[in-house]
Amino acid sequence: MDNVIRSRTPAARAGRLLLQAVLVVAALWYLLPLAVMVLTSLKPLDEIGAGSLLTLPEHPTLAPWLKAWGSACTGMRCEGVSGYFWNSFAIVIPAVIIATLIGALNGYALTKWRFRGAELLFALMLFGCFIPFQVILLPMAQTLGWLGLSSSRAGLVLVHVVFGIAFTTLFFRNFYVSVPDELVAAAKLDGAGFFRIFWRILLPVSKPIIVVSVIWQFTQIWNDFLFGVAFSGHDTQPVTVALNNLVNTSTGVKEYNVDMAAAMIAALPTLLVYVLAGKYFVRGLTAGSVKG
Amino acid sequence: MKSVSTHADAWRRGGRPAARASLTGRFQAWLPKLVLAPSVAISLCFIYGFMLWTFVLSLTNSRMLPSYDFVGFAQYARLMANERWWVAATNLGVFGALFVGICLVLGAGLAILLDQRIRQEGVLRTIYLYPMALSFIVTGVVWKWLLNPGLGIQAMVRGWGFESFTFDWLVDPDMAVYTLVIAAVWQASGFVMALFLAGLRGIDDSILKAAQLDGASLPRVYRRVVMPCLRPVVFSAVMILSHIAIKSFDLVVALTGGGPGYASDLPATFMYAHAFTRAQIGMGSASAILMLGGVLAILVPYLYSELRSRRHG
């Protein structure tokens, strides 16, 4: 695809320069909000009104970060976002582990132990990936109440697992389809059971798809706002909800530098995952779409 | 695959060793179903059951709390007569069309340009895609700051000497919905680029060389040969993007709060406001059901064609 035209005339060379320039300008557009976010979060408040978006901080300071972390007001309380940051982890970690485990077993059962109706069951579950969640919010709120889980972290873990397994099952099913059935058939003949085959044959080759599933779930749940705002209490809000409250708290002077620092804090975990494991992140994004 | 599964079926039917027919053997045969059962039960209950439940609620006059006094389709009628709902629905049309359209053009354009043996391609790709890792809340907070007329882009450009430069869409009821488009395109267009790039890389080089040997110009090659090959990519991208558009909730909350007034409301925020803060559970449920209808209208043709192509492929 890339060796379409390789002429070396001056016009072609100018064209390539232009091409490169267009791409760099596009990159700057994508980077602008991040740059502004970082710059603003390092400025003292008086520099914000005086300078413009892209002026470098004259007296760079970490005070907005410290305030966002420990003492900024989110609604009624003024304890920063730190507690909510850890809330997010307390919700994300169990939800990711449980959903990935269930998804792996489901994908395995669906592909290596095919039975009548398996495809139908899969289609049934897959539908969970697509519904607008507004359609389950009210019954979910009531059910969480009945289960005694309203406004609790455990309740949010449950919700995220319930709506995560559709995706994780999809990932693992599509991955296990390409693992040769002969291996499994041979093991069955040798008398190996369901879990033994999973443990010995499927799990050892599953590392890439486990990474994809974990990253996808982590990003989705960390970035969730709808479930967080609908089902959490004051103490159990995830960081996205706290960030929104912090930005919209209208008492006193508006501290944009603190807002930006809080936004950075909320964004850092997923950004870090993206930088460290971008390849898997993209694979997760495209897994459900191109390959189906 | 087919042959292997029939082989396994044959094994299961006939060649089963005697020992396997024992109790443990029968248990083993049931295990896969047992493993799947909880997930299926959860889906049935939490997805299908809850959808039905919401539909039932939409037929009642529930306000603060769910009640089960049925009023038929009165809530839908109220919804149809509700100006705010029409603002939200129209906004979704405008937002959805622009968001999907711009993302496609930008994504395809960037992918084609990136595909020309560009220096530092990996770095550029990483930069284009990183917004997709962010929460829509973070995106909303940042763009709210950038679009703030007093301190953001407008102020910056005025500071450069263009005193009359005006970019105050965030506080303009007629334009606020377009700020949602800007932020959402910023977030998702890199993803579309990645989809297209993967599609481009999957095209067989020899087809292109043949087209060039026939004397086709580069734009012509793209229009006549490459684009038709990318039709499935366009299709999935449209699906995913319209899905994001219908579900958009966090972005509106963080960027415009649905305002000024309710000028930039979308159905998702309309539903949340009525069901959770305005004590209109019945009408909120009705709007949720209509959202589901919208998703299904897009999804059903998609799944249909997916299943068909898989059967033929």
Q: What is the DSSP code string of B266-286?
A: -HHHHHHIIIIISS-HHHHHH
pTM of structure:
0.86
Cβ-based neighbours of A134, under 8 Å, separated by 6 or more = A226, B249, B267, B268, B271, B272, B275, B287, B288, B291
Cβ-based neighbours of A211, under 8 Å, separated by 6 or more = A277, A280
Closest C-alpha among A75, A131, A262 to residue B52: A131
Judged by CB atoms within 8 Å, which residues 204-263 of A form the interface with B? 219, 222-226, 229-230, 240, 243-244, 247-248, 256, 259-260, 263
Q: Cβ contact (<8 Å) for B135 and A177?
A: no
Residue B63: how many other CB atoms lie within 10 Å: 15
For chain A, list the domains and their CATH numbers.
Answer: 10-61 (no CATH), 82-287 (1.10.3720.10)
| B32-47 pLDDT tens trace | 888 888 999 998 999 9
Q: What is the mean pLDDT of chain A?
A: 85
B2 pLDDT band, cuts 50/70/90, is very low
| B72-95 pLDDT tens trace | 888 898 888 888 999 999 999 999
Q: Cβ contact (<8 Å) for A5 and B254?
A: no
Q: Is residue A242 within 8 Å of A74, Cβ to Cβ?
A: yes
Q: Cβ contact (<8 Å) for B292 and A282?
A: no
ipTM for the predicted complex: 0.88
Q: Is it true that the peptide bond before B260 is cis, omega within 30 degrees of 0?
A: yes
Q: Which of A111-120, B10-19, B172-181, B303-312 has the lowest mean pLDDT?
A: B10-19
Residue B121: how many other CB atoms lie within 10 Å: 15
Closest C-alpha among A94, A291, A106 to residue A202: A106
CA distance A11 to chain B (A): 15
| A126-173 pLDDT tens trace | 887 788 899 999 999 999 999 998 888 999 999 999 999 988 998 898
CB-CB: which of B57, B110, B295 is closest to A130? B295
Q: Which of A178-187, B56-65, B83-92, B214-223 has the lowest mean pLDDT?
A: B214-223
Q: Which residues in chain A are contacts of B159 at CB distance < 8 A? A: 52
Judged by CB atoms within 8 Å, which residues 258-287 of A form the interface with B? 259-260, 263, 266-267, 270-271, 273-275, 278, 281-282, 285-286
Rounded CA separation B44/A120 (Å):
13
Rounded CA separation B132/B34 (Å):
37
Q: Answer whether A61 touches B (CB < 8 Å).
A: no
For chain B, list the domains and their CATH numbers.
Answer: 20-58 (no CATH), 74-312 (1.10.3720.10)
Q: Cβ contact (<8 Å) for A263 and B57?
A: no
pLDDT at residue number A35: 92
- Residue spans of alpha helices (H) in B43-175: 50-58, 74-80, 83-114, 121-129, 136-146, 153-159
Q: Is residue B132 within 8 Å of B103, Cβ to Cβ?
A: no
Residue found under tokens 């009642």: B60
Terminal-residue alpha carbon distance, chain B? 13
Q: Cβ contact (<8 Å) for B194 and A256?
A: no
Closest C-alpha among B266, B279, B312 to residue B91: B266
| B7-18 pLDDT tens trace | 444 444 444 444
Closest C-alpha among B195, B189, B166 to residue B99: B189
pLDDT at residue number A1: 45
Residue B61, both tokens: 């006059």
Q: Cβ contact (<8 Å) for B51 and A49?
A: no
Inter-helix orientation angle B281-312/B50-58, to 10°: 140
Q: Cβ contact (<8 Å) for A4 and B208?
A: yes
Q: What percent of chain A is predicted at pLDDT more than 90? A: 34
CB-CB: which of A53, A110, A224 is closest to B156? A53
| A22-41 pLDDT tens trace | 999 999 999 999 999 998 89
- Please give the average per-residue pLDDT across B230-237, as a whole number: 84
Q: Which of A5-14, A241-250, A276-285, B154-163 has the lowest mean pLDDT?
A: A5-14
